[in-house]
Chains A and B, each alone.
Chain A
Amino acid sequence: MKDVETRPKKYEGALILAIFLATLPLIIGFSLLILSSFSRDMITNFDFKSFHPTIENWINVFKGKLAITGGVKVNMGKIILNTLIVALGVSGLVTLISVMSGYALSRMDFKGRKWMIVSLMLLHAFPGVALIVGVYLLYRLSFPEGQNFVRLYSFIYVIFARAALEVPMSVWLMKGFFDTIPWEFEWSGIIDGASRITVWRKIMLPLIKPGILAVALFSFLAGWQDIIYVRTFLIDQTLATFIEANIEAEYTHMPLIAAAGTLYLLPTIIFFLTAQQILLRGYSGGIKG
């Protein structure tokens, strides 16, 4: 990895300190949350005296016991599953769309191509919240009749709506990745006898695995973390709406919510730690220059 080495040594210490101080509030916030989940009472107001370590909260979270007393129970497993369904649905849909659209925009010439590429950036800047009234109207207008379908429909609708918000950026990303592959690979495939689709499937896709992973990951997290669309359209609960609903409820034992919150955080942290390796790996060789 190349870099110029012009930074004077004496500033390094000060720089590291500054960065540390800048990130400190964040670190403190998250640490308090995680610690609270292991304590009998919340310590988020720096009240360390009330820190009584226990893993009760975590057991209760998985059992679904919301309150210490009384019998309020939730199906924690279902809630986590719902969040997973939304996240995976968004991820799958966005990846599928962007991997095909990115290729088309990168490699094929057709009328309106330039406009499409420009509009990708414009669409990405559009805040999802601003659209919500229109999207909700469409939701009500197309609401199905049967009882059974309603819950399925709300899932499908949330996934499609949330995915739509991620598509412009993802298509842009995928197009960028496709752009980096020299034309010779495609020509070679075509000469060898592959159809355009086979070239796409067997040659291009394997070459941009890091890109596909990045898009799949980011859209998964977008789906996992979503609160607004899930709150508006989904009839069932996900972790996000669960936490929101119970934060100030009378019967809630807050450290439990802290545990749920930490649970909610987990995929994001894990992905960012592990996926880095794969994302940074490139494919070398096979071509000169």
Chain B
Amino acid sequence: MVSVRLENIVKKFGNFTALDNVNLEIKDREFMALLGPSGSGKSTLLYTIAGIYKPTSGKVYFDDRDVTELPPKDRNVGLVFQNWALYPHMTVYKNIAFPLELRKAPREEIDKKVREVAKMLHIDRLLERYPWQLSGGQQQRVAIARALVKEPDVLLLDEPLSNLDALLRLEVRAELKRLQKELGITAVYVTHDQAEALAMADRIAVIKEGKILQVGTPDEVYYKPKYKFVGGFLGNPPMNFLEAKVEDGKLVITEESAIPIPRQYREIVEKTGVKEVYLGFRPHDAEVEKGISQGIVGEVYSFEPLGREQIVTISVNDSIVKVFAPEGEHFNFGEKVTIKVKEDLLVLFDKKTEKALEFLAG
């Protein structure tokens, strides 16, 4: 159980910069999610923590130890791969025992530990089978067992759930979170699924193109995004963005749609003198009213009933916006509606830097 610290990590593959000056601290016993789109560098970062890659420059610390030059086997990490990578020519027992056998542990000790960890993951009855005889979910437990059997200081997981079917994914998600808390093991979890990150992590690090944009609790990254990208990446359906100009204390989106600058932003807008912004709000944080009135005016583009609520897609000028509405209301295509956004849930981003206005100064 250690804390992990990454200092100024740069990783280049030839001319391609995969990690651009990454600084990150993962606290002892913390569940940290590395969240980002494909190709953002999150797996590269994970493998750098593991020791499979050496950073081009920068340092990796476990607690106070500089492990940058240490090979993986001296770092005592466990790694669960996206496609499990179970050795197909070995039984489940041998797969799990492999790390301990490499350490030349005595036979009885190996047996005890393997059976312990197998029991913990409910695969104790499968020890004599081969990987190709197991279901996806079972294979994944074996992979986790193999990572845990050597009692690692850090548990690294590379999108472990993405090869499971949707229902199984939800099950295993809860189990994994529980397991991590019970074992008290520091965990770093790579995923591109924002729902997964929000559900499981103590803190989330959002990565884009090799840079960490924001680190915070699920609440923080969801409600107080620092960048337009972060706001748009978390949440399903994603945050809506509309371009607006600042004029006379109002935000003008179109001729018909001008709303007053939200209370929380009045001072900041004055101080920073920003003139062009992105207006961000989440589909749950607004209401749709029929007809034209004070607010953001648009036309109904489509609607999707979901059971107890529906998603209404509205076109505002040339932009598309999604808002949740109660199931009872009936909408027509092309109907004019007004969106009323809850004032204090609005987020404003500077158009040029795409940074949230609160963070523009610092």
Chain A residues with CB under 8 Å of chain B are 182, 184-185, 187-194, 198, 203, 206-207, 283-289
Q: CB-CB < 8 A to B99: which residues of A?
A: 192-193
User: Known contacts A190-B72, A191-B79: does B87 contact A286 (CB below 8 Å)?
Assistant: yes
Q: CB-CB < 8 A to A189: which residues of B?
A: 98
State in angstroms the CA–CA spacing of A289 and B139 once bound together. 13
User: Known contacts A285-B131, A288-B163: does B89 contact A192 (CB below 8 Å)?
Assistant: no
Q: Is B78 an interface residue (CB 8 A)?
A: yes
* 10 more CB-based (< 8 A) A-B contacts, given A190-B71, A286-B132: A182-B85, A187-B47, A188-B81, A189-B98, A191-B73, A191-B78, A284-B88, A285-B134, A286-B88, A288-B83
Q: Is the CB of A286 within 8 A of B73?
A: no
Q: Is the CB of A206 within 8 A of B89?
A: yes
User: Known contacts A203-B87, A285-B88: does B102 contact A194 (CB below 8 Å)?
Assistant: yes
Q: CB-CB < 8 A to A207: which residues of B?
A: 87-89
Q: What would be 21 A-B contacts, judged by CB atoms less than 8 Å apart? A: A184-B81, A187-B81, A190-B73, A191-B52, A192-B73, A192-B98, A193-B73, A193-B99, A193-B150, A194-B73, A206-B89, A283-B88, A284-B132, A285-B134, A285-B139, A286-B84, A286-B131, A286-B139, A287-B84, A287-B86, A288-B83
What's the least CB distance linking B139 to chain A, in Å?
A: 7
CB contact list, B51-107 vs A, under 8 A: 51-52, 71-73, 77-79, 81-89, 98-99, 102-103
Q: CB-CB < 8 A to B84: which residues of A?
A: 286-288
Q: Is B232 an interface residue (CB 8 A)?
A: no
Q: Is the CB of A184 within 8 A of B132?
A: no
Q: CB-CB < 8 A to B136: which residues of A?
A: 288
What's the least CB distance linking B65 to chain A, in Å?
A: 18
Q: Is the CB of B85 within 8 A of A188?
A: yes
State in angstroms the CA–CA spacing of A265 and B320 once bound together. 76
Q: Chain B CB within 10 Å — which of A184, A191, A283 has the most?
A: A191
What's the least CB distance linking B4 to chain A, in Å?
A: 15
State in angstroms the CA–CA spacing of A204 and B52 once bound together. 17
State in angstroms the CA–CA spacing of A140 and B65 once bound together. 62
What's the least CB distance linking A66 to chain B, in Å?
A: 50
A283 touches which one: B89, B139, B150 (CB < 8 A)? B89
State in angstroms the CA–CA spacing of A203 and B88 once bound together. 9
State in angstroms the CA–CA spacing of A287 and B78 once bound together. 18
What's the least CB distance linking A41 to chain B, in Å?
A: 54
Q: Is B301 an interface residue (CB 8 A)?
A: no
User: Known contacts A206-B89, A288-B136: does B72 contact A191 (CB below 8 Å)?
Assistant: yes
Query: Top 10 nearest A-B pairs by Cβ distance?
Result: A285-B132, A286-B88, A286-B131, A184-B85, A193-B73, A192-B99, A286-B86, A193-B102, A288-B83, A285-B131
Q: CB-CB < 8 A to B163: which residues of A?
A: 288-289
Q: Is B229 an interface residue (CB 8 A)?
A: no
Which residue from chain A places its CB closest to the CB of B130 in the assembled complex? Answer: A285
What's the least CB distance linking A239 to chain B, in Å?
A: 37
What's the least CB distance linking A125 to chain B, in Å?
A: 32
CB contact list, B110-169 vs A, under 8 A: 130-134, 136, 139, 146, 150, 163
State in angstroms the CA–CA spacing of A289 and B162 once bound together. 12
Which residue from chain B places its CB closest to the CB of A209 in the assembled complex? Answer: B89
Q: CB-CB < 8 A to B87: which residues of A?
A: 185, 188, 203, 206-207, 286
B52 touches which one: A187, A198, A203, A289 (CB < 8 A)? A187
Q: CB-CB < 8 A to B131: which residues of A?
A: 285-287
Q: Is B207 an interface residue (CB 8 A)?
A: no
Q: Chain B CB within 10 Å — which of A194, A198, A203, A285 has the most?
A: A285
Q: CB-CB < 8 A to B102: which residues of A?
A: 192-194, 198
Q: CB-CB < 8 A to A188: which residues of B?
A: 79, 81, 85, 87, 146
State in angstroms the CA–CA spacing of A151 and B331 once bound together. 97
What's the least CB distance linking A113 to chain B, in Å?
A: 14
User: Known contacts A285-B130, A286-B131: does B86 contact A191 (CB below 8 Å)?
Assistant: no
Which residue from chain A places its CB closest to the CB of B152 in the assembled complex? Answer: A191
Which residue from chain A places its CB closest to the CB of B53 in the assembled complex? Answer: A187
User: Known contacts A193-B103, A194-B73: does B88 contact A287 (CB below 8 Å)?
Assistant: yes
State in angstroms the CA–CA spacing of A185 and B47 once bound together. 14
What's the least CB distance linking A209 to chain B, in Å?
A: 8
Q: CB-CB < 8 A to B78: which residues of A?
A: 191
Q: CB-CB < 8 A to A287: which residues of B?
A: 83-86, 88, 131
State in angstroms the CA–CA spacing of A198 and B84 once bound together. 20
Which residue from chain B places its CB closest to the CB of A194 in the assembled complex? Answer: B102
What's the least CB distance linking A258 to chain B, in Å?
A: 45
Q: Chain B CB within 10 Å — which of A188, A190, A203, A283 has the most?
A: A188
Q: Is B50 an interface residue (CB 8 A)?
A: yes
A184 touches which one: B83, B89, B130, B150 (CB < 8 A)? B83
User: Known contacts A283-B88, A285-B132: does B103 contact A191 (CB below 8 Å)?
Assistant: no
Q: Chain B CB within 10 Å — which of A189, A190, A193, A206 has the most?
A: A193
